Amino acid sequence: MDWVALVRQGLPAASVDSLVRSTHLTQSQLAQALAIPERTLVRRKREGALSPDESAKVVRLARVVERAEGVFESTEVALNWLQAANAALGGVSPLSLLDTEIGAESVLDTLGRIEHGVFA
């Protein structure tokens, strides 16, 4: 429940830099994955905090990355999987689906199937 309060008040803008460092994505790639214009991210850094909606998107991406790392037991493998086209997800990369809640749920569902050995 602590996350709910943090998202509602807006995460610190530094969380974007932290996510860039941990995922090895460029800020441009991150902005695209979050469906937040890059210029908005730059502005938020100056302002110091993300909006609640932007914060929710950052938390969603971080949760998916964390889940992928758990399934693949490797940060590098997880990040590669997130960026590669995936047949189970219609031939698009999991990262490209994280801009929506339903897309993120599809990615998490696919990770669950992989974890349990169900690939189709």
- The domain tally of the chain equals 1
27 found inside a domain = yes
100 found inside a domain = yes
Residues 6+ away with beta carbon under 8 Å from 7: 52, 55, 56, 59
120 found inside a domain = no
pLDDT of residue 2: 84
99 found inside a domain = yes
For the chain, percent of residues with pLDDT exceeding 90: 94
The 8-class DSSP code of residue 87 comes to G
pLDDT digits (tens, 9 = 90+) for 64-103: 999 999 999 999 999 999 999 999 999 999 999 999 999 9
28 found inside a domain = yes
Question: Could you tell me the residue range of the domain that residue 13 belongs to?
Answer: 2-115
Residue linked to tokens 């850094």: 45
75 found inside a domain = yes
